[in-house]
Amino acid sequence: MDFRLTAEQESLKREFEEFFAREESRAPEGWSGGLFAIFESDENWAYHRSVAERLAEKGWLSLPWPKEYGGKEHSYIEQLIFNEVKAYHRVPGVDMWGPQIVAPSILEHGSEELKKKWLPRIARGEINWCQGWSEPNAGSDLASLTTKAVEDGDDFVINGQKIWTTGAHRADHIFFLARTDQNAPKHRGITYFVSEIDKPGITIRPLLYMHKKREYNEVFFDNFRVPKKNVVGQVNQGWYVTMAGINFERSMIGTVAELKRGLEELVEFCKKTVHHGRPLGEATLVRQKLAQMAIELEATKQWAYYVSWLQSKGQNVPAESSAAKWFSSELTVRFANIAIEIMGLYGTLKEGSKWARLQGRYEDLCQASLGITIAGGTTETMKNIIAWMGLKLPR
C-alpha cells in the first residue's frame, strides 16, 4: 500500500477543506459537533439540513456511486478523505445512515426499481433515515431479532419493537430487519426493508442518555404495512444485505479525525493553562499522555486508510473493518478519560458553567463514549468477528 495521495486526491482534499472550513464558520452558537448536537435543537437540525443541501448541490453525498444513480464514481479512498475532512471540522450534513448504509445496500442488493426510487433522493439529501436493527433482549446478537413480518397481499405486515434507534424522532425514513421465516436457522429467515416512517402503525418514544440528551429512541411496530417492493435483496436473505452495510460503515476515519481535532485543542489548553507556576504542557506526565494519544491516533488513522484501500480493491473486509471499529471506539474512551485527567476539575464541568473549558466537551464525551463501544456492534462482537472471519479460529 502506498500511503501518499495522488495529485488529484490532494487537490480534492483542498477543495473539501475550503468548503468545510466555510461551513464550520457559520455553525450556530454553541455548536459542538457530533450526533447529539445534530438532534438536540431545532436550530442545530436546520444547520445540519442546510449543509446537506449544499453537499447535495456538489454531488458529495454520493461520491463513490455509479454516475447513472447520481454518483461521481470516486474511489473509497476519496470517500475516506471526504469523511476525514468533514469530521475534523465538526460539520454535519451527511445522514449517517442514508448515504453510508442504506445506499450501499441498495446498490449492491436492491432491485432496479429500488435504485431508481431511493438513490436519487438520498443523493439530493432530501430524506433522513434511522436504523431499525437492535431489539430488546437481543443484546449484540443482531440475528436474535423477534420482530415479525407476515405477507398480506402486496404488503408485509410488521409487528415488534426496536431499541436504541438513533435519530428516529428526526428521521422521515427507516430501514429495518424483520423475521419472515420463523422456522429458518437464526441467520436466515430475516428480511431487509426500507420505508417511510410517517405512516400508521409506528410509534416512537424517547430513550434518554444518562446525561439526559436525546439521540436514541424506541420504535414500536403495530400492524405496520410495508409494500413488498420495499424489500432490499431477497426475502429471507436480509442478513447478507445487512453485512454489506455494516462493512461499509466501519473504516471509522471520522472518529479518528474528531479525536485529532480534540487533541490539537487539548495541546493548546495545556500550553495556555498554568499550574503551580508553569504551563501544564511542561509537566512530564502530561506530555507523555498527549504523546501516547498522538501515537495511537496515527496508528488508528493508518488502519482506517488500510481498510478503505482494501475496499477500493473490491475486497470484503469484515475482520479489518471490525478491528477499526474496536480500536477507534476504545480509543475514544481512553481519550476522554485522559482529557478529564489532564484538565483536572475544569474537565468535569458541563458546558454552560463559567468555569468549563473546551465547551465542557470531555465531561460530555466521558459519559457518551462508553456507549460508542456498544453502538454499531460491541467490542466483544468485533473481537469475535476478527477471531472467526479474520483469524479463522473455531467458534
Please report, as a single letter, which amino acid is at residue 226: V
User: Cα dihedral angle (334, 335, 341, 344), rounded to 10 degrees?
Assistant: -150
Catalytic residue among 249, 258, 296, 320: 249
Q: What is the DSSP string of 42-90?
A: HHHHHHHHHHHHHHHHHTTTSTTS-GGGT-----HHHHHHHHHHHHHTT
| Residue 390: DSSP 8-state | I
Parallel, antiparallel, or unpaired for β 274-275 and 190-196? unpaired
Parallel, antiparallel, or unpaired for β 190-196 and 231-232? antiparallel
Q: For 217-253, b where at least 16 C-beta lie within 10 A, e where not — what string? A: bbbbbeebbbeeebbbbebebbbbbbbbbbbbbbbbb
Q: How many CB atoms lie within 10 A of CB 391?
A: 8
Q: What is the C-alpha to C-alpha distance for residues 196 and 175, in angstroms, rounded to an integer? A: 9
Distance between the two ends of the chain, CA-based, in angstroms?
A: 32
Q: What is the C-alpha to C-alpha distance for residues 207 and 103, in angstroms, rounded to an integer? A: 27
Active site residue 249: yes
Q: What is the C-alpha to C-alpha distance for residues 201 and 357, in angstroms, rounded to an integer? A: 45
Q: What is the C-alpha to C-alpha distance for residues 353 and 336, in angstroms, rounded to an integer? A: 19
Q: Which residues are catalytic?
A: 249
